[in-house]
Structure 1
Amino acid sequence: MSHPEGKPPSLMARLRRYIVAGILVLVPVGVTIFALRFLVNLLDRSLTLLPDRIQPEQLFGFQIPGLGIVLSLAVLILTGMLAANFFGRKLVEIGERILDRIPVVRSIYYGSKQIAETMFSGQSDAFRKPVLIPYPHENSWALAFVTNSDLGEIQHRTGQDVVGVYVPTTPNPTSGFNLMIPRKDVIELDMSVDEALRMIISLGVVVPVWNPDGKKVAKAVEAQGKKLPGKD
């Protein structure tokens, strides 16, 4: 930045620049530490499942952060090993028959099971493609993720080729809206799911750069007075 008559920047200008530079460094670090700390504390709660006499605080006299992650992974691996063999599958079938007789529990269990199978089976297109949809009205657009393209009765009742989409809220994408949109109104995007999530979390400030050939640039820029290539 040039200064009139070659004068160096004032003390206040330098302080302001240093403060901004400090914010740009520390805010992302702070948010990352906060998120990791939240995740570790959340998983550490799994230690409450252990009997009191073998709690880490009882054995070692102090708490070990992150031990809950190890316990959670061990439980997941052991459960997967058990469910993958014949004896384990029989136990799961017996458990599901019992749950099937409890009205409210049955709905929660099978709903959660279908979500897990859809998300982790690797055979579904759910949340694998970011799209643009006209929302909340036809003259505005919102980022969304396709959740299902086969809506059964809804397809028949609407008389249209519709797809299910999830519209996440900003800056917390874990809450949002489930909408059914005509396929003709859904615009597929070249950006990845990670890039779309970064744009949502940043309140639309961080935008992945796109060129007319559809090639993505890894670097993100602030969308302040800048025109994306291919846009008028």
Structure 2
Amino acid sequence: MSRSAIKLHTPAGRKALDKMIHEAERKAQEQAAAKPARPGAKAAPAATAKPAAMGAGEIRIIGGQWRRTRLAVAQKPGLRPTPDRVRETLFNWLGQDLSNWKCVDAFSGTGALGFEAASRGAASVIMNEQDAELVQQLRRLQQRLDAKAVKVVRGDALSCLKTASGQDLVFLDPPFAQAELFEPAIQAAVAALNEGGFIYLEAPEAWTEERLLELGLELHRYLKAGAVHAHLLRKQ
């Protein structure tokens, strides 16, 4: 269509003209990019990609009073927060409402599990972490949420569990590379639980029902998500 044929007083005409102008600008940009740079001219700065984040970056609380709240977490190599989908499934298993429950998040890390429990009404949540930087991050998140039910402590997970008692739910998410931690942590968690209490265990492999029975536990629920084997265990 020639420009003389465009009727500018009509919507179709204005649209056609805009299209022609846009196409002319695009061709001009392509031609400019194809021309060799003049000697001595400065090259245009290249676009730089954002570095990939190390660690979680942020977590999202799935349910409860802080539902959909996004919380920044320390970005550390190897930090492995429980995925949103797995947490959602876990709390569906537990019945969503944790009012009056007493909980321990023994290897707290990002705090995803402990803050989720507090959001859903838990009466107390002990969040234990050994890494000093992560402890400070957890305390900042606690203050931001005004999470009065949450107590952040720094220390060894096994020692924390051995001093806890009368708990309804213990979260166990030890570093996958430290296989020697799993059985002692489970034993300490069993001792800390009320009768009928739950342990949520994340592990790099599935624990058999026979092995769990020897520790006084029954397998209540199980799922596999990627490299994570998630178990909800109940004290017999």
Answer 1 or 2: which has greater helix percent.
1
TM interval, short-chain normalised: under 0.3
Normalising by structure 2, we get a TM-score of 0.21
Answer 1 or 2: which has greater strand percent.
2
Normalising by structure 1, we get a TM-score of 0.21
Q: Which has the higher contact order (CA 8 A, sep 6+)?
A: 2
